[in-house]
Amino acid sequence: MNGKAVVLRDVPFEHLKNESFEVAILPWGATEAHNTHLPYGTDILESESIAASSARHAAAQGARILVLPAIPFGVNTGQLDIPFTINMNPSTQFSVLKDVVASLEYHKVKKLVVLNSHGGNDFKQMIRELQPATSIFLCAVNWYKALNLNDYFEKPGDHADEMETSVMLHLFPHLVLPLSYAGTGKEHTLRIQAFKDGWAWTPRQWTKATSDTGVGDPHAASAEKGARFLDAVNAKVGLFLTALAKTSIDQMYEE
């Protein structure tokens, strides 16, 4: 079977009525402020672009990948005091994911990848609950964790930082304000050491954790850095999609 990558949003029924796909990708973003210079839809735009590009990489290796429309809302309970943040609770995300999975079962898709672009989203427990009830193999990918950011950027951060700004400068420069508008992205960490060390956890209250909604200094960002990083991300995620497409569900584990 020849490889194929299709972005479902852009294709008419005439071109799909006789097609089949081994893997579907569900890009999942968020609608939130990204420092003062990046658009609210940064996570949506990143997830859509990386899903499509990595699918093309996989198609070149013979995989058949269907890219679904992105879900534009993420878990933003800690940012609701920032104007026009849109929150989707985890319980709502679970219902959305459940319905998407049920729909894909009708169309004989065997595997689904949730391509996550927002740090506040966590699909592990949702997948644990959904997996026993579906024949579709479920998994999640956080594309921003696929590579060591220190190999590509001077000052990697956590949100609207040098990495994200570079990515957006490469993909959608017309949506990015000049870096003179950007804040420093200074983070105000929690006082208690256990939270700093990572073995205790609580969600951050964003307006106390950062004064400009960013975490990480974006001022060293460039479109060239974004292009180099994205080339590597798309290739690595594409290799994963290829392996996933070519590995049958009953052969996922080594002997």
For residue 40, what pLDDT is reported?
Answer: 98
Stated pTM of the model:
0.96
Q: How confident is the model at residue 128 (pLDDT cuts 50, 70, 90)?
A: very high
Coil/strand/helix, residue 170: helix
Mean pLDDT for the chain overall:
97
Name every residue whose Cβ is closer than 8 Å to that of residue 199 and which is 6 or more positions away in sequence. none
Place of tokens 């996550």: 116
Query: What gap in Å lies between CA 241 and CA 132, rounded to an integer?
Result: 22
Six-digit token string for 81: 């005091």
Please give the pLDDT value at position 223.
Answer: 98
User: What pLDDT, on the 0 to 100 scale, is given for residue 236?
Assistant: 98
Distance of alpha carbon 190 from the chain centroid: 26
State the average pLDDT over residues 183-191: 96
- Tell me the pLDDT tens digit for each residue of 3-29: 999 999 999 999 999 999 999 999 999
Length of the chain: 255
Beta carbons of 19 and 11 less than 8 angstroms apart = no
pLDDT for position 244: 98
Note the pLDDT tens digit of each residue in 42-96. Answer: 999 999 999 999 999 999 999 999 999 999 999 999 999 999 999 999 999 999 9
Closest Cα partner for 215 from 169, 193, 191, 184? 184
Q: Which of 56, 134, 151 is nearest to 100 (CA)?
A: 134
Show the domain range for 155: 4-251
Q: Look at residues 206, 167, 196 and name the one whose alpha carbon lies nearest to residue 85.
A: 206
β-sheet bridge partners, residue 187: 210
Q: What CATH number did the domain enclosing 25 receive? A: 3.40.50.10310
Give the separation between CA 13 and CA 149, rounded to whole angstroms.
40
Instruction: Say if residue 186 is exposed, middle or buried (CB neighbours under 10 Å; 0-12, 13-18, 19+).
Output: middle
pLDDT of residue 74: 98
Split into its structural domains, the chain has a count of 1
Confidence class for position 1, pLDDT limits 50, 70, 90: low
Whole-number pLDDT of residue 152: 98
- Mean pLDDT for 169-177 is 98
Distance CA 24, CA 5 (A): 10
pLDDT of residue 255: 84
Mean pLDDT of 141-148: 98
The span from the CA of 104 to the CA of 106, in Å, is 5
- Minimal CA–CA distance to 235: which of 163, 173, 146? 146
pLDDT for 206 beyond 90: yes
Residues 46, 239: Cα–Cα separation, whole Å: 18
